[in-house]
Amino acid sequence: MIKEDFDKIRNSEKFKAIISRARLVSCFLNDDQIKKLWEFNFFSEETKSTYTFFVDNNDVVLKDTNILISRNQNPEEVILKDLKLEEKEVISVANFFLIKKYKEEKFSKMIMSIESQNKNILWNVTIVLKNLNVVNLKISDKTSEVVEDKTISPFQK
């Protein structure tokens, strides 16, 4: 679904002017109660703006346009054709890691995004546990391994 939606956006005649001068810098799974949609964030070096698109019922929709706060930011491009893992595989890796490290904890929400760091694709998985702690995992698309693991408590000072 990710690659197919990306191709629809990239080939959209309606947004050709924006897409031709921008590069994909991240993807975010918007999983609300009604629909599960991947959002695609494109960055334009020219305008220092990000453009967020999604595909709904085969229609490409421009959701947001934001100017980056820091003009020096230059997000790295995500090359989706190089993507090896699928969403369900990432969920399996995250679940296995949670069961191993957080045996007693139950989770209530999982948020997923894809980004690129140093030319490596990373799946950024944020899990909200029932005790309200938040676990952030970075999973390598190349190796399927958890390369970073952070836990944050909302009750920490």
Same domain, 62 and 90: no
Residue whose structure tokens are 């599960």:
36
Residues 6+ apart with CB under 8 A from 124: 112, 113, 114, 115, 136, 137, 138
Asked which of 8-22, 33-47, 114-128, 130-144 is least confident by mean pLDDT, the reply is 33-47
The verdict on residue 23 lying in a domain is yes
Number of folded domains that form the chain? 2
What whole-number distance in Å separates Cα of residue 121 and Cα of residue 123? 7
What whole-number distance in Å separates Cα of residue 1 and Cα of residue 6? 8
Tell me the DSSP string of 106-125: -EEEEEEEEEEETTEEEEEE
Domain membership of residue 45 as a residue range: 2-67
The verdict on residue 101 lying in a domain is yes
How far is residue 8 from each of residues 11, 54, 58, 60, 84, measured CA to CA in Å? 5, 9, 8, 7, 20
The verdict on residue 157 lying in a domain is no
Q: What is the pLDDT of residue 67?
A: 74
Q: What is the model's pTM?
A: 0.83
The verdict on residue 115 lying in a domain is yes
Same domain, 94 and 140: yes
Averaged pLDDT score across all residues of the chain: 89
CATH code: domain of residue 108: 3.10.450.40
